[in-house]
Amino acid sequence: MSLFRPYKYKSRPDLESNAPVKHGFFLFFELFFRKIWRFITLNIYYFLVTLPMLIMVYFMINGYFADQLISESGEFMDMLPGIGIFASVVSYIPQFLHTPLVVLSMILYGPATMGLTYIFRNFAREEHAWVSDFVSRALSNFKQGLFFGILDIVVVWLLANGILGDFAFNAAAVGIVIKTLSVIALVVYLFMRHYFYTIAVTVNLSCFAILKNSWYFVVLGFWRNLWAGFVCLLGLVVCFFTLPLISLITVPLLLYSFTGFAVVFTCYPVVKKYIIVPALEQEAAARGESAAEKKEEEAVEEEEISEEN
């Protein structure tokens, strides 16, 4: 089946009401492999959108650690050789296009993440989603996607500089404090980031309200955040710091889909518990009150009619 042709979905019989509930770990892999071709297709789309940013990060990392990557024989050891294969395309692109492509990638990064998260959220809820929703949801959530995408880039860049920066001009203790606080802030932000896009594609809230709720979920979903963070870290290590061939295959085909779906699958229950369920209960209560008021009005009208008669 071609990756880019429309998918034909087969009807699946409903599960029996008395069927045992599957453990989340097994359910995750069942869903992932059941929809593996859609995950691969989405990963390719997202990879193409973020490739200029990835190449920029590749050159920045190798440039920063250049002194440590030069061996005693004078040879340069590429820190991310698998990504270096993708970075080689730069030599075939006119230089005047380098900056515009990176800027365009930064602009599209947030909205593309919105589209990806919407599909992952539906998959996690075992609901249907078209691969084309990647584009449609990116456009419908473009403003919030742009905001959170730029926020991701700015915050991570600042905190990474705080962690890796050279603070020799300050006292050693000050440099240690800055690095420690930067590490803590980065971990907290990455935990908050687990919820930015999921909340945005699920409920209508302002960016400020999403940030506030995500801050609460750092604590309320702490253990889920740890698990999701561990899966992402493991995926990054395997895909970037093992064999170049693994990077060449997994980064364009699986990395973003696997880690992204793992985060949504793990953290969506927190959003459901503290946002969706209370909202539904409130709506149900409001409908009940309105129904009671309507019945009361009808009763009053009937009494007035009987009195007139």
What mean pLDDT value characterizes the chain? 84
Confidence of residue 295 (pLDDT cuts 50, 70, 90): low
d(CA 164, CA 183): 10
Structure-block tokens of residue 108: 């599209």
Cβ(35)–Cβ(9) below 8 Å = no
The SS3 assignment for 93 reads coil
267 part of a folded domain: yes
Predicted pLDDT of residue 243? 87
Structure-block tokens of residue 264: 């949504």
Select the more confidently predicted residue: 116 or 63: 116
On the question of pLDDT at 109 being above 70, the answer is: yes
Spatial CA neighbour of 87 closest among 33, 51, 130: 51
Domain count, the chain: 1
Spatial CA neighbour of 221 closest among 275, 185, 184, 151: 275
Predicted pLDDT of residue 11? 40
110 part of a folded domain: yes
Handedness of CA 56, 58, 60, 66 (dihedral sign): negative
108 part of a folded domain: yes
- Residue span of the structural domain in which 84 resides: 24-308
On the question of pLDDT at 4 being above 50, the answer is: no
pLDDT in tens, 228-278: 999 999 999 999 988 889 999 999 999 999 999 999 999 999 999 999 888
5 part of a folded domain: no
Predicted pLDDT of residue 23? 61
On the question of pLDDT at 173 being above 80, the answer is: no
96 part of a folded domain: yes
18 part of a folded domain: no
Predicted pLDDT of residue 171? 59
Strand partners, 70: 76
Average pLDDT score over residue span 172-190: 88
Predicted pLDDT of residue 290? 61
Cβ(55)–Cβ(84) below 8 Å = no
248 part of a folded domain: yes
Distances (CA, A) of 198 to 33, 85, 122, 268, 269: 22, 33, 10, 7, 11
Burial class (CB in 10 A: 0-12, 13-18, 19+), 210: buried
Predicted pLDDT of residue 178? 85
On the question of pLDDT at 218 being above 80, the answer is: yes
Predicted pLDDT of residue 20? 55
Predicted pLDDT of residue 112? 97
On the question of pLDDT at 68 being above 90, the answer is: no
293 part of a folded domain: yes
